[in-house]
Structure 1
Amino acid sequence: MTIVSTASEEARAHLVRSMTDTGALTSPGWTDAFRGVPREAFVPSFQVRHGDQIDTLTAQDLGFHTAVYQDTSLITRWDACGTAVSSSSEPSLMARMLEAFTVTDTDRVLEVGTGTGYNTALLCHRLGEDQVVSIDIDPELTTTARRSLASVGYVPDLVTGDGTLGVGDRAPYGGILATCGVHRIPVEWVRQVRPGGTIVTNIGTGIVRLSVGAESATGGFLPDPAAFMIARPTPEQVAHRAASYTALVINGTGRESRIDLPDARDTRGFYQDLMEGCALEVAMAQYDVLSITLTAGDTDVYGLVHPDTGSWARIIPAGKSTADVVVGGPRDLWTERATLTARWIAAGRPGPGAYTLTVEPDGAHTLQREEPTTTSWRL
């Protein structure tokens, strides 16, 4: 069993108080789970990003327990290209998702994205290990998580496989909680949750809570933007890295134009909106487009890339309200992104909480926003 130090208990208690004070934790069941599960058992070593700097900590380092119980994501695994593919997520975000995961004490639940096993342990503490099924694509992660969970006394049903397919032979579930991002809600999840059950996951730049009906599922988003690492179809998959397309964005030749910015009153803010993808509707419509921000001398260069088609766009500010744009490939990524972003700005920059999502039996997604006027998109 894991030996829990006084430093760990004090740091954990402080984190729980902080999450309670901010409203991330509201129910006794999940509060007890965060009090009872030692996070350090699942992250014996990790990395924390501070801007461009990455710090590595292990249990032997001074301040380890303080760092473990910071309300931040702890990176534990990288792919071959240096992209983070597994982490222990920000505890307050985990808490908000768990609070939205309104299942009963007798429900069997499926967690998609075992990762370190920390969230799995919270589910086990709250619901009982016999009620928890968890799946991850990476056999090394499930092996390590199984060992970590056993060290704190939990033996849930861990499965190695593609979580986007669910785990059909253990269904039906009272709910599915995914600690990874998806571009679309898999219809298999909807089919494997009983009517009245709940699906909570990251899609686009928001966390959606869906209530499952007889065939479809519908629900709203939590108020604040959030994004997880996207689910991988295989453990060997290397994520697209924006840096590998830098040369294309800087040196590519294509169709040139000078354009007026849709939001000339706040040029830099518009570029941030354009590139950071904070608009839920933009992120869901252009989920397959990478954003790149570069600095060449005193000039900011913005790039968009669609790896599957080789389409790209280069945007260079040419004054307060204009920019020089070059696009290449079959998709005009600039026009797509600018149109979507301008519409979102005109609506008052609504956050994720302004939207609802419906997933139909055929997998079609309908995103809807009520303010300032009812607008919907079938994706």
Structure 2
Amino acid sequence: MNIPQTSNASPPPRNALAAIFENSPWQHAIESVARELFLGKAVLQSAEYGDRWEVIRREDMSTVDWLRLVYRDATWVTQVNGVMAEQATGRMSGVPTSSSTMPSLVVRMLEAAEIREDDKVLEIGTGTGYSTALMCHRLGDGKVTSIEYDPVVAARAHDAIQAAGYAPTLAVGDGLAGYADNAEYDRLITTCSVRYIPVPWIWQVRDGGTVTTPMAGWMGGVAFAHLTLDDAGNANGRFLSDDLYFMTARPHLPHPLASTLMPRGEPRESRIDPRILDDSTGLFVAQLGAPSAQRAGLGDETILLDVATGSQASTRKAEGGGWVVQQHGPLRLWDAVEDAIGIWQQAGSPHQSGFGLTVTPSWQRVWLGDVDGPSWDLPA
């Protein structure tokens, strides 16, 4: 087991971590909230493979080593495939389903939401409860509502938040439906990424209030949205310059891919270099063009698949230079990707922050440059 090592120095105090946030309005909360309460008795760290995890148990470490681990500016996985870290009997395989996010990322999220002392906040995704406690410390218990989908995660968060001395409104349920009982909210933030903005969120935020959430599509492209509600009940805003994202909300995850993907269709020359999808913004733009597609492969050999229709597109390097694409099925996935990438490149290939999002009760649209620019509908 790769347990972090320590020197003879004393463990770093909470204010050593808080020093990272000097001059931030969240510095005192970081200093005051004991992160060790929210990590439980064990955490998981990545083993030699990306989907393999090994457990680090509190009981196997000295207090000094455990506190050094706790007060790193690091993300610690607390659940994989619904199994809590303390329940792990050995190495695990799977996808993280809950974690204690690195404090600097938590604070970036809170700062991006522009939360002020008098704001009433709804948090989607309680997780370990650490960010919930930070908000309680700064805003007061009565200003904070948090909802968690997983009842086991929610129960542990409840105990940790209570042990830290806070008593916000905590609910167990589908965060994509928000929490109407305490509406209206000044700020809605999420600790999960979503594919589109759930309409109940904009119903539960006051006019002039904001929704701040990472977004992630089925190809893996991400963007960080900050939207403001207008008096007509619509939300408008731009994606932020931070490349910030969290685990995707479980109902917004893509469908499982087929085990075999075979290139089919008449080959033609690709209008774009498939390696543009290895760029984070390029992938985000490609996803706008083909939002129902999932991506397999990297670089020259990229495969796109739409599970619902069976549509596929695959690329490969041509012998004489350039790239060849083959497509089949009712959706011409690569055609749509080429069109979107072409529009983006003609605009100078801006970062995601060059795009914005408009959300109404009946449609959601990402636009480039301004609201009258080129646009793509999200699959709401």
The TM-score normalised by the length of structure 1 is 0.80
Instruction: Tell whether the 8 Å contact from 1:117 to 1:146 is kept in structure 2 after alignment.
Output: yes
CA RMSD of aligned residues (A): 3.1
The correspondence of residues 35-184 of structure 1 with structure 2, limited to 5 A, is: 35-44=31-40, 45-49=42-46, 52-53=49-50, 54-59=53-58, 60-61=60-61, 63-79=65-81, 82-184=94-196
Aligned partner of residue 296 in structure 2, secondary structure: strand
User: Pick from 195, 202, 213: which aligns with 2:230?
Assistant: 213
Q: Which residue in 2 is equivalent to 1:329?
A: 329
- In structure 1, C-alpha distance between the alignment counterparts of 2:301 and 2:185, rounded to whole Å: 48
Shift of 1:231: 1.6
Instruction: Tell whether the 8 Å contact from 1:114 to 1:142 is kept in structure 2 after alignment.
Output: yes
Q: Which residue in 2 is equivalent to 1:338?
A: 338
- In structure 2, C-alpha distance between the alignment counterparts of 1:150 and 1:300, rounded to whole Å: 52
Q: Which residue in 2 is equivalent to 1:258?
A: 268
- In structure 2, C-alpha distance between the alignment counterparts of 1:7 and 1:143, rounded to whole Å: 35
- In structure 1, C-alpha distance between the alignment counterparts of 2:141 and 2:225, rounded to whole Å: 25
Q: Which residue in 1 is equivalent to 2:28?
A: 32
The correspondence of residues 150-299 of structure 1 with structure 2, limited to 5 A, is: 150-204=162-216, 205-214=222-231, 215-233=233-251, 240-241=255-256, 244-245=257-258, 247-249=259-261, 252-263=262-273, 268=275, 270-273=276-279, 279-293=283-297
Shift of 1:65: 3.4
Q: Which residue in 2 is equivalent to 1:354?
A: 354
Shift of 1:135: 0.7
Shift of 1:49: 3.5
Instruction: Tell whether the 8 Å contact from 1:282 to 1:337 is kept in structure 2 after alignment.
Output: yes
Q: Deviations over 1:161-205 (max 9, x none)?
A: 111111112111111111111121122111111112121111241
Q: Deviations over 1:145-164 (max 9, x none)?
A: 11111121122211111111
Q: Provide structure 1 residue ranges, at least 5 long, that are not aligned to the other structure.
A: 1-5, 21-25
Aligned partner of residue 13 in structure 1, secondary structure: helix
- Quick check: 123-132 or 217-226, which moved more? 217-226
Letter paired with 1:66: R
- In structure 1, C-alpha distance between the alignment counterparts of 2:228 and 2:269, rounded to whole Å: 43
Shift of 1:142: 0.8
- Quick check: 328-337 or 111-120, which moved more? 328-337
Shift of 1:108: 2.4
- In structure 2, C-alpha distance between the alignment counterparts of 1:115 and 1:278, rounded to whole Å: 31
* Residues 306 and 85 of structure 1: CA distance in aligned 2, closer, same or farther (over 3 Å): farther
Shift of 1:310: 2.7
* Residues 262 and 229 of structure 1: CA distance in aligned 2, closer, same or farther (over 3 Å): same
Instruction: Tell whether the 8 Å contact from 1:200 to 1:210 is kept in structure 2 after alignment.
Output: yes
- Quick check: 132-141 or 7-16, which moved more? 7-16
In the alignment, structure 1 residue 376 sits paired with structure 2 residue 375: yes
Instruction: Tell whether the 8 Å contact from 1:225 to 1:278 is kept in structure 2 after alignment.
Output: no
- In structure 1, C-alpha distance between the alignment counterparts of 2:189 and 2:157, rounded to whole Å: 17
Q: Deviations over 1:77-131 (max 9, x none)?
A: 2227822222222332221210122344233211001111111111111111222
Identity fraction in percent? 34
Q: Provide structure 2 residue ranges, at least 5 long, that are not aligned to the other structure.
A: 1-7, 83-92, 217-221
- In structure 2, C-alpha distance between the alignment counterparts of 1:8 and 1:343, rounded to whole Å: 56
Aligned partner of residue 155 in structure 1, secondary structure: coil
Letter paired with 2:294: L
Instruction: Tell whether the 8 Å contact from 1:132 to 1:156 is kept in structure 2 after alignment.
Output: yes
Instruction: Tell whether the 8 Å contact from 2:304 to 2:312 is kept in structure 1 after alignment.
Output: yes
Q: Which residue in 2 is equivalent to 1:318?
A: 318
Matched length: 348
- In structure 2, C-alpha distance between the alignment counterparts of 1:82 and 1:46, rounded to whole Å: 15
Q: Deviations over 1:32-76 (max 9, x none)?
A: 112222223212322233773545323234644334334343222
- In structure 2, C-alpha distance between the alignment counterparts of 1:14 and 1:364, rounded to whole Å: 46
* Residues 285 and 36 of structure 1: CA distance in aligned 2, closer, same or farther (over 3 Å): farther
